[in-house]
Amino acid sequence: MADRFRSTEGLIDALADASFDRPPALVSNAHVTGLGVARALDAHGVPVIALDRAAGDGTEPVVHDGLAPPSDAVDFAGAVTYPLEDLDGFREDVEAIVDAAGTEAVAFGCMDEWALAYAEADPDGVRLPYSGIDTIDDVLNKSRLYATCEDLGIPYPETHRLGGGAGETDGEAGDTGEIDEDALEEAADSLGFPLVVKPARKREFEEAFGTNVLIVADRGEFEEVVASAAAEGVEVMAQKRVDVATGRDHSLASYVPPSGVDDALAVVGNAAVRYPLQFGTSCLVETADEPAIEERALAVLENAGYHGISEAEFVYDDEREEFLLLDVNTRPWKWISLPVAAGANLPMAAYAAVTDAEYESEGVDPAETTRWVYLRDYLSLLAGDDAFWDLLSGDDWRRLVAGSFEREGDLTTGVYRPSDPAPAAKLFETEFVDREYYCSC
């Protein structure tokens, strides 16, 4: 495991004394998602270098609360310039790290900004196991995603583009940096209140507002949020608040190789429990047999020409009685360990596609249920005031406490694993201090 999270210069010095028998993986961020990717790759002997933003000025000693660095699956960990603040500085840091390692590396961006940064910066010596920047943006950008859904006849929530972006101009609202007042008026009249305001591209909105979606209660609040987004150069849209069936959110977890969707490795996951319950992040996910979800998600990816790891998120609309596509994440996500446990090691498949390594899935049985739990949030639900019925059995809890779940394969976790205890121990250390890591994933 990495002995500590180093400054950029400290990491470069440490790598200069290391040797690698295969290209290491550069995993960013270095928190729950990065931990899942690192463990998936380490299971096949792939060396992992965890890279993330640092607290403070980036010099030694470096403060970093992410949970991946102390894992036995991570060989080295250290800071790089945060790409949303300085993309050129990020490129220079990564190139220096790869040069010090003495071999090319494979990039795994585990949040939107990291996946986009590796693709956009295109550092020398870095292999991308996913599509380039233009294709990624076509999928990540919700304005373009929903246009694709319209073309393919895939249901999605009623959505109105409002503008406010600072991107390329193509004659459409949202690309000029100005709000389309007529579109705002039409959205308010059509959707009513409360309604949802969400960005075309998630991460810039999160940096500005501290969340990736806002629910506004009235016209005044709506105008204020949209104006604030415009000031930040973030393209936004208004969306109908869906009458979501709790516990029926489904996603397609997949790796599409360059050969196309016919050769995709895919698992459908049902986010049975979220924390908080209605609009929180997943904390209990289980595999599901939903062929329609797989078919629709792969159609979107094929239309975009995307290859790589992705998660296509669907919610079930009680009013329309059908699944609606909300989002496609073109990178690993929080419960990436679920498909791995189910027999589809998506990170390793992606790594093998751009290296000399070999990987073949052991097969996924849709009749067998595999579950993933993030115990920190799940236990918070059990201890909270909201009515919540425990979905884990007594036998599940015994296996979790004993650690035998690691050997039996149908239950896995986000952080806690007795065979790799340091990440869970670090979570205990950081849970009770007045300091919060910048991303829950």
The token pair at 77 is 């960990």
Average pLDDT, integer, range 69-92: 97
Give me the domains of the chain, ranges plus CATH numbers. Answer: 5-130 (3.40.50.20), 158-239 (3.30.1490.20), 249-330+335-373+375-413 (3.30.470.20)
Which segment of 58-67, 388-397, 409-418, 428-437 scores lowest on mean pLDDT? 428-437
What are 258's two structure tokens? 């360059």
Beta bridge partner(s), residue 256: 308
Q: Tell me: pLDDT of 436 over 70.
A: no
> In this predicted structure, which of 39-53, 89-103, 228-242, 280-294 has the lowest mean pLDDT?
228-242
Average pLDDT estimate for 424-435: 82
Beta strand spans in 276-360 (E): 281-288, 308-317, 322-329
Nearest in space to 113 (alpha carbons), one of 93, 136, 83: 83
Question: Could you report how far apart the first and last alpha carbons of the chain are, in Å?
Answer: 21
Q: What phi and psi values does residue 312 have, to the nearest 5 degrees?
A: -105, 120
Confidence grade of residue 168 (pLDDT, cut at 50, 70, 90) = very low
Please state, in angstroms and rounded to a whole number, the distance separating the CA atoms of residues 60 and 83: 20
Which amino acid would we find at residue 418? P
- What value does the mean pLDDT take over residues 275-297? 93
| Segment 133-137 mean pLDDT | 90
Query: pLDDT tens across 6-50, in order?
Result: 999 999 999 999 999 999 999 999 999 999 999 999 999 999 999
Segments in 45-86 forming alpha helices (H): none
What pLDDT does residue 176 have? 46
pTM of the model: 0.91
Confidence (pLDDT) at 367: 86
Listed range (131-145, 300-314, 335-349, 401-415) with the worst mean pLDDT: 131-145
pLDDT average, residue stretch 269-290: 93
Give the pLDDT score at 362. 86
Mean pLDDT of the 138-166 span: 88
Q: Which amino acid is at 335?
A: W
Q: What is the mean pLDDT of residues 195-210?
A: 84
Q: What does the buried/exposed string (b/e) look like for 301-324 if buried means 16 or more CB atoms within 10 Å of the residue's CB?
A: bbbbebbbbbbbbbbbbeeeeebb
Sheet of strand 265-275, all strands in order from the earlier edge strand to the far edge? 322-329, 308-317, 249-256, 265-275, 281-288, 371-373, 411-413
Is there a contact between 371 and 440 (Cβ–Cβ < 8 Å)?
A: no
* C-alpha triplet 168, 171, 172: angle, nearest 5°: 85
- Cα 221 → chain centroid: 29
Between 3 and 288, where is the model more confident?
288
> Phi/psi at 244 (nearest 5 deg)?
-75, 135
Sign of CA dihedral 346, 349, 355, 360: positive
- For the chain, give the mean pLDDT: 91
In a 3-state reduction of DSSP, which class is residue 259?
A: coil
- Could you give phi then psi for residue 272, rounded to 5 degrees? -65, -30
Interval 116-130 mean pLDDT:
97
Q: Are 109 and 117 in contact (CB under 8 A)?
A: yes
Cβ 19 vs Cβ 440: under 8 Å = no
Q: Residue 177: pLDDT above 70?
A: no
Taking residue 284's Cβ as centre, other Cβ atoms within 10 Å add up to 23
Q: What is the pLDDT of residue 166?
A: 56
Per-residue tokens: 327: 């989002």
Handedness of CA 254, 118, 68, 431 (dihedral sign): negative
Whether 170 has a pLDDT exceeding 50, the answer reads no
pLDDT score for 434: 63
Burial (CB count within 10 angstroms: exposed 0-12, middle 13-18, buried 19+), residue 35: buried
Task: Give pLDDT tens digits for 302-328.
Answer: 999 999 999 999 999 999 999 999 999
Question: Which of these, 16, 64, 68, lies nearest to 38 by C-alpha position?
Answer: 68
pLDDT digits (tens, 9 = 90+) for 372-408: 999 999 999 999 877 889 999 999 999 999 999 999 8
- Nearest alpha-carbon partner for 323 in 312, 311, 313, 314: 314
According to DSSP, residue 184 is labeled H
